Structure 1
Amino acid sequence: MRDTSATPERPAAPGPLAGVRVVELAGIGPGPFAAMLLGDLGADVVRVDRPEPSPLGTDPAYDLTNRNKRSVLVDLKAADGPGLVLDLVERADLLIEGYRPGVAERLGVGPDACLARNPALVYGRMTGWGQDGPRAATAGHDLGYAAVAGVLGLVAGPGGAAEPPGIPANLLGDYAGGSLYLVVGLLAGLHHARATGTGQVVDAAIVDGAAHLGSMLWGLLAAGHWQDRRGVNLLDGGAPFYAIYRASGGGHLAVGALEPRFYAEFARLLELGPDAPGQYDLARWPELRARIAERFATRTRAEWEARFAGTDACVEPVLTMRQASADEHLTARGTYVEADGVTQPAPAPRFSATPGALRRPPARPGADTAEVARDWGVAALDPSLNSAADQGE
């Protein structure tokens, strides 16, 4: 594993977002992940935590979505709470909030209040349903957003089309359709703000981003090359050469031999035999699938890994999280790192001149209040600074 953490002997590279200031109003899920990504790339992220504990109940030391951040405690329901946040906003480039529509406004830190204090601010709103529409005010989670967006129905379950869709943790909706689209929106807004001096509001709804992920498939659907049902298409497990198979003794292998030349290599190494159905003989796909499954069942996953290693057959093992962190290729690239005793993904993507780095462990709520007050010039955050000033220190 490569070590991307900063040390006194080897200070961290600034990252491509060095100098960008971000205020994150504490939440859970896609908002914190988006802020973490900005922090990984060098932004100065200040997370505004609430006085009460996180509803997740996780030890803050293991909440990796709070790495590369600093934390201050502010009670937004207290009389001085909104003003403290607005003091930070005045000095920020970006803001992230993930409340239900209207909540930030009621707390006094909505877009109008923030943009009045800082007209160049890019105000990022992270929600599942968006700021308007029939579902906007209702609760939800990743699974429901992905379901309504039409992307969860693309995910084959263990029993194929006859079974309910698989559940890809909270990666498809929260992070792919939510966090990543919010970050793109924030950076695009930042580019515009720096060119014009004018900020704006970014409405990043998970349903919008998740739907957008399916753009290619909507084109295929319109062209008649995609069926609007699961488990019968080229990329959703319908094709026997783009599917997952069980090996002898357990373990699975992912087959992605789409192109004819790759499929030919796959068929040769799997020893399908000359009488096997042709790759695109759709009528015989069930027979081909059964033949492939029968062959995979004759050897262990490790034996098939060795068989396909270094070839263009496009067959790879389905690894668990811990297995992935020890994979030869990912180890060589340093895709996973160990920092502060925790194995975790390294910052991504990679930059040749301004690489991201793990500069700070996960922020503990309120632990950085004095430091942020000093660095951002918001003395009201830390009464001790005012006391020191009064005493001439």
Structure 2
Amino acid sequence: MSSRNGPLSGFTVLSLAEQYPGPYATLLMADMGADVVVVERPAGGDPARQFPAFHESLNRNKRSVAVDLKSPDGREALLRLARTADVLLEGYRPGTMDRLGLGPEVLREANPRLVIASVSGFGQDGPYRNRPAHDLSYQAAAGMLHELAADRRTGPVSTLAIGDVSSGMFAAVGVLAALLRRGQTGEGGYVDVSMTDGLVSWMTTQLVPVLNCDAAAGFQHEPGYGVFRTSDGLLSLSVAHEDWFWTPMCAVLGMDDVAGLRASDRIARKDELRERIATVLATRSRDEWVAVLDQAGVPMGPVLDLEEVADDPHVKDRGLLVEVPADHRRPARRHVRQPLVFDGAGPGPSRHVPDVGEHTREVLGAIGYADDELERLLASGAVAEPAPRRPAS
């Protein structure tokens, strides 16, 4: 399924969000058919463009207009765009849009049906609202590093920006919920998306026991739940609390003497049992263990590097990797589509990442700017367009 006939076809989204969370949210919406117009600063655009592949991965399938929001003409252009849009998503620090004269009240006056979403680190209010931080610090504030805190130790942390990705998903969910409500009431709305709030929500199964002085679930301490070395790689086992998975695993690994242990007994002996599992798994290759454990119905998976993910037969069969064909300006490029499947088809990108301001004339012309107005705005620097690019070879 092309994004052009996806479930969000017909909706226009203005994105003033840079870097990671907002672009990921609008990536999901663009792949599902929304016309996402990225409003970028004329001088360089999104700062993430200094990392071209990173930026491309989040901004393919969108259009770009370059507008100086600090100029009166630039702000007027943004307001005129907002009058024809369904959604405006921004990722500035709290208060920035108000200082620009483009706060929610001004935007809603221009378009009462507009859904506005703000993505920030700590939300639009609260004592931390203006605190600068990046993803790791949001994880720390949400308790995601609680095991390090409990042991008073430092250690390796995930290189995946979990707060960025999760807040992008929450932003998309919030926007879609507000659009659904608009369909019932005719009025837009304002969605406040906090990266930290989203991570606290993701910690619900670990926080609720603490809040109520209850025992936490112990499956993460199961000896058969973890990453183990094989003779040539790494293998994950995900035997949690289920005895019916532990028993066949023990049969495959030659550990029949402990196959009848219940979960509480396994956890009590976790160090001993984990060492036994590790010793056995180290005797054969990763792919050999995958074959026999899969045959036995044991939950597991090979630990893949990124090249292996790109070549994985299941990933390919699900159509997660798609190619945007070459056009007169760019060569063909491969991308990861959004993950949802609608009526048997997964909509994905159909256009390349735009240059800064590549669609300035096209987008502003479509909302009523005459050619002489555009020339004046371009000459003044209120808007911009890219220099001509050589065709792709």
Same fold (TM over 0.5): yes
Contact map agreement 1:142 1:174 (CA 8 A) in 2: yes
Match of 2:183? 194
Question: 2:362 pairs with 339, 354, 371, which one?
Answer: 371
Match of 2:35? 44
Query: For the structure 1 residues 243 and 171, does the alpha-carbon distance in structure 2 shift closer, same or farther, using more than 3 Å as the test?
Result: same
Match of 2:47? 55
Between 1:298-307 and 1:286-295, the stretch displaced more is: 298-307
1:214 has 2:196 as partner: no
Question: 1:323 pairs with 308, 314, 337, which one?
Answer: 308
Match of 2:67? 74
- What is the TM-score with the length of structure 1 in the denominator? 0.85
Q: Any gaps of 5 or more consecutive residues in structure 2? A: 326-331, 379-393
Contact map agreement 1:122 1:200 (CA 8 A) in 2: yes
Match of 2:351? 360
Q: How does 1:257-272 map to 2 (within 5 A)?
A: 257-258=239-240, 259-272=242-255
1:203 has 2:180 as partner: no
Question: 1:167 pairs with 157, 160, 174, which one?
Answer: 157
Identity among equivalent pairs (%):
34
Query: For the structure 1 residues 346 and 60, does the alpha-carbon distance in structure 2 shift closer, same or farther, using more than 3 Å as the test?
Result: closer
TM superposition shift of 1:224: 2.4
Report the 3-state secondary structure (helix = DSSP H, G, I; strand = E; otherwise coil) of the residue aligned with 1:80: helix
Report the 3-state secondary structure (helix = DSSP H, G, I; strand = E; otherwise coil) of the residue aligned with 2:119: strand
1:193 alignment partner AA:
R
1:297 alignment partner AA:
A
Q: How does 1:1-393 map to 2 (within 5 A)?
A: 13-53=4-44, 54-56=46-48, 57-59=50-52, 63-153=56-146, 164=154, 166-176=156-166, 178-221=167-210, 222=212, 224-226=214-216, 233-235=218-220, 238-249=221-232, 251-258=233-240, 259-275=242-258, 278-280=261-263, 281=265, 282-340=267-325, 341-352=332-343, 355-379=346-370, 383-384=374-375
Q: For 1:202-257, what per-residue CA distance to the aligned partner results, in whole angstroms no more than 9, with x for missing partners?
A: 00001111111122333444372317xxxxx323xx221211111123x2111111
TM superposition shift of 1:315: 1.2
- What is the TM-score with the length of structure 2 in the denominator? 0.85
1:198 alignment partner AA:
E
Contact map agreement 2:123 2:192 (CA 8 A) in 1: yes
Contact map agreement 1:15 1:354 (CA 8 A) in 2: no
Query: For the structure 1 residues 296 and 52, does the alpha-carbon distance in structure 2 shift closer, same or farther, using more than 3 Å as the test?
Result: same
CA RMSD of aligned residues (A): 2.7
TM superposition shift of 1:44: 0.7
Q: For 1:150-181, what per-residue CA distance to the aligned partner results, in whole angstroms no more than 9, with x for missing partners?
A: 12336x89xx96854542224421112x1111
Match of 2:385? none
Contact map agreement 1:373 1:382 (CA 8 A) in 2: no
1:315 alignment partner AA:
M
CA distance in 1, matches of 2:132, 2:101: 22
CA distance in 1, matches of 2:246, 2:61: 44
CA distance in 1, matches of 2:249, 2:370: 65
Query: For the structure 1 residues 379 and 86, does the alpha-carbon distance in structure 2 shift closer, same or farther, using more than 3 Å as the test?
Result: farther
CA distance in 2, matches of 1:311, 1:77: 64
Query: For the structure 1 residues 311 and 378, does the alpha-carbon distance in structure 2 shift closer, same or farther, using more than 3 Å as the test?
Result: farther
Contact map agreement 1:153 1:165 (CA 8 A) in 2: no
TM superposition shift of 1:196: 1.1
Query: For the structure 1 residues 105 and 284, does the alpha-carbon distance in structure 2 shift closer, same or farther, using more than 3 Å as the test?
Result: same
Match of 2:388? none
2:41 alignment partner AA:
R
Contact map agreement 2:320 2:337 (CA 8 A) in 1: yes
CA distance in 2, matches of 1:117, 1:309: 58
CA distance in 2, matches of 1:164, 1:286: 22
CA distance in 1, matches of 2:276, 2:362: 64
Contact map agreement 2:252 2:296 (CA 8 A) in 1: no
1:137 alignment partner AA:
N
1:35 alignment partner AA:
T
Number of residue pairs matched by the alignment: 366
CA distance in 1, matches of 2:102, 2:338: 30
Report the 3-state secondary structure (helix = DSSP H, G, I; strand = E; otherwise coil) of the residue aligned with 2:355: coil
Query: For the structure 1 residues 74 and 275, does the alpha-carbon distance in structure 2 shift closer, same or farther, using more than 3 Å as the test?
Result: closer
TM superposition shift of 1:92: 0.7
Runs of at least 4 residues off by over 4 Å: 160-163, 378-382, 384-387
CA distance in 2, matches of 1:318, 1:381: 58
